[in-house]
Amino acid sequence: MSRPLFTEIVRGGLEEDFLAERLSRDVALVDVGADAVDGILTWEALGEIMSTRPLSPPRLRLHRDGAPVAPERFTELGDSSGAATRVLRPDALYRELRDGASLVLDAVDRLHPPVRDAADDLMRWVRERVQVNLYVIWGASSGFDTHWDDHDTFIVQLAGTKAWAVHGQGTRPHPLKRDTVARHDPPPSTVWEGVLRPGHVLHVPRGWWHTVSGTGEGSMHLTFGFAPPTGVDWARHIVEALHDREVARRDLPRFASEKEREEHHEALVRELVDLAGRWDVDALLKHRDDRFPRRARFSLPWGVRDTDPTPETEVEFVPILPPSLSEEEDDGATKVVCTVSGRRYRLPGVARPVLDVLVEGRRASLEDLARRSGTSFADTVRVVRALVREHLAVMRTDETSRGGR
């Protein structure tokens, strides 16, 4: 198994206090070496993805000189299960790329397991949802003008080179995707400038303006994007919690006396203050962690039928963030309790040592899982079957496991 890209390799090249001091606050560059990113996505793998997946615009799109390229220039009308769609034309796509267009493919982490694994690893490090987009360009042109992103990013250069200039915060620091000010301008200076090569990983915070261009050769990089919660998100959560307070559900007393309107306002303020005190920053972050989404992972035939696995069958834990485990008594029987994606699970007590191993190590063969948990093989199989049925784990044979990486 390859080493985790972010929690081990990238993290090892940054300061120990990077998360607390520089994440989302400062640009950072680390060179992890070309070998560390070699197997994440290759030109051949990209060609296979484009050949076998229905990638119609806008998921796959082209940009040139700051403007989108019309899909009609590189696609044609086709048919998929009786529905009209647009199909990529390889010859037309090649022509646009030769003429300096930049190719963008959204959510490539849902298309290629090694990218998915890297994205999941970053999610466990920063504890936020991550989407990975792919950018490809030939020549020295720019697909986009100088701009800022509404999310933090880690740029991972996979092939070729690309020139970057990071300018920093503009005239509106910490801009939001949904904001009250639509226009703001970049700063006149540049805080970091350089050429990314394979193995370079660049962190650019949300709202930091940057200019990117090709260097004359083919370039391929992945952008790992994530959006930590802001104070606006905290306030939005407080407003949502007001739905449980009766006074907040009442109509505003438009036609009441001035005194009654003042009393109603004071009652609303009291409810807001009470909720703000109950939902401090730590409470909101835990609330988000408990509802952190799972990827849709399928385990066939194991999730449908109790097909007998072998000791070599691999088990993988599905939740991305490690859930906290607790125990409670139910009619004299011990139950293990965990919350995943907003759902509370109560499992037999025998599941606790098996879960402890999976939460810590994420993957193990059934034989190794039984040995490390001190559980009999038969009980381990029963526990894992229950986890698979609840979408908490997947099982694979060695052959299936190799084919999915």
**CATH code for the domain of 379:** 3.90.930.60
Q: Are residues 21 and 43 located together in one domain of the fold?
A: yes
Tens digit of pLDDT for each residue in 219-235? 999 999 999 999 999 99
pLDDT at 366: 97
Mapping DSSP to helix (H, G, I), strand (E, B) and coil, where does residue 284 land?
A: helix
Q: Are both 57 and 9 inside the same structural domain? A: yes
- Amino acid identity, position 62: L
| 51 and 188 assigned to the same domain | yes
pLDDT in tens, 259-318: 999 999 999 999 999 999 999 999 999 999 999 999 999 999 999 998 899 999 999 999
Q: Check residue 296 and give its pLDDT.
A: 93
Euclidean distance between CA atoms 208 and 194, whole angstroms? 16
How far is the C-alpha of 231 from the C-alpha of 226, rounded, in Å?
16
In eight-state DSSP terms, residue 81 is T
| Res. 241: pLDDT tops 90 | yes
Same domain? 282 vs 322: no
Helix or strand (DSSP H, E) at 97: helix 90-98
Residues 6+ apart with CB under 8 A from 308: none
Domain co-membership, 173 together with 277: no
204 CB-side CA count, 13 A: 29
User: Is residue 52 domain-shared with residue 112, that is, in the same domain?
Assistant: yes
Task: Tell me, yes or no, whether 296 lies in a domain.
Answer: no
* d(C-alpha 86, C-alpha 72), whole Å: 9
Question: For residues 125 and 143, what is the distance between their CA atoms, to the nearest angstrom?
Answer: 30
Q: What is the pLDDT of residue 221?
A: 97
The parent domain of residue 350 ranges over 314-403
Tokens 């859930």: give the residue: 323
Percent of the chain with pLDDT strictly greater than 70: 98
Task: For residue 341, give both structure tokens.
Answer: 């994606």
> Count of domains in the chain?
3
